[in-house]
Amino acid sequence: MSTLHWEDSQAEIHRVVVGPMDNNVFVLRCKETGDAVLIDAANEHDRILELCQNLGVRTVLETHGHWDHIQAVPAVRDAGYEVGIHQDDTGMLEAYDYLIEDESVIEVGRLRLHTLHTPGHTPGSMCFRVEGSPVLFSGDTLFPGGPGATKFPGGDFDTIIRSIETRLFTLPEDTLVLPGHGVDTTIGTERPHLDEWVARGW
């Protein structure tokens, strides 16, 4: 069964759904070079390692440190893949290899992946935008119908709303949003509902 979820002239995005929380695990792959990056080593490490080996994954990026997004981190590190996470979520991992900083660029073959620090779901939540392709990996910051949950330790509703409004809703309307769970959406679909989310408080 094919894992290919989306593609354009420069990039392929593969997806598998793993674990009891139905986490989306994505692989962004450069068509020109075959190099790839895996986003969220969530669970079912055997499937994730198979993806890494088959698709040319070079490194692993974590959108945040919640348990359901990091279960396979020890296994992928043992297999030789380095794992990156934002400084503010490092305390949620037993071990990691490097820090992901805000407004930096991660090269994936010829692709350029831009990092966006979007705190609120967790203090160190990150989103990733593909330069030249209308794609945003939103982790648990933005879903169809609203922001990610903020009831867990380190979560803050006002902060996640600010992150969404100032960091994500400035992107073009046709930007495809690939969340950490569930189905895709677009910036244009979600942006008109911001005031509703603020009013309901979640």
State percent of the chain over pLDDT 70.
100
pLDDT attached to residue 106: 98
Q: What is the pLDDT of residues 73-130, one digit of tens each?
A: 999 999 999 999 999 999 999 999 999 999 999 999 999 999 999 999 999 999 999 9
30 has a pLDDT exceeding 70: yes
Rounded Cα distance between 44 and 140, Å, is 19
At 167, phi and psi to the nearest 5? -105, -35
Rounded Cα distance between 27 and 61, Å, is 10
pLDDT attached to residue 123: 98
* Mean pLDDT in residue range 6-31: 98
At 92, phi and psi to the nearest 5? -90, -10
pTM (global) more than 0.95: yes
35 has a pLDDT exceeding 70: yes
Domain count, the chain: 1
Q: What is the pLDDT of residues 118-157, one digit of tens each?
A: 999 999 999 999 999 999 999 999 999 999 999 999 999 9
Q: Which residue has the tokens 């969340």?
A: 179
The beta strand positions in 22-155, using DSSP E, are: 23-30, 36-39, 57-61, 82-85, 98-99, 105-108, 111-117, 126-130, 135-139, 142-143, 146-147
* Mean pLDDT in residue range 185-200: 98
Q: Residue 79: which residues within 8 A CB-CB, separation 6 or more?
A: 49, 52
Rounded Cα distance between 113 and 106, Å, is 5
Quick check: 109 and 33 in contact, CB under 8 A?
A: yes
Q: Confidence class of residue 199 from pLDDT cuts 50, 70 and 90?
A: very high
* Mean pLDDT in residue range 33-52: 98
pLDDT attached to residue 45: 98
In 3D, which of 36, 37, 44 has the Cα closest to residue 16?
44
- 3-state SS track over 100-120: CCCCCEEEECCEEEEEEECCC
Rounded Cα distance between 32 and 23, Å, is 28
pLDDT attached to residue 201: 94
Q: What is the CATH number of the domain that holds 18?
A: 3.60.15.10
69 has a pLDDT exceeding 90: yes
8: tokens are 């354009």
* Mean pLDDT in residue range 4-33: 98
109: tokens are 């073959």
Quick check: 76 and 45 in contact, CB under 8 A?
A: yes
Range of the domain at 48: 4-200
pLDDT attached to residue 72: 98
DSSP of 30-45: ETTT--EEEE---S-H
Amino acid at residue number 48: I
Cα 63–Cα 68–Cα 72 angle in degrees, nearest 5: 85
33 has a pLDDT exceeding 80: yes
Q: Confidence class of residue 1 from pLDDT cuts 50, 70 and 90?
A: low
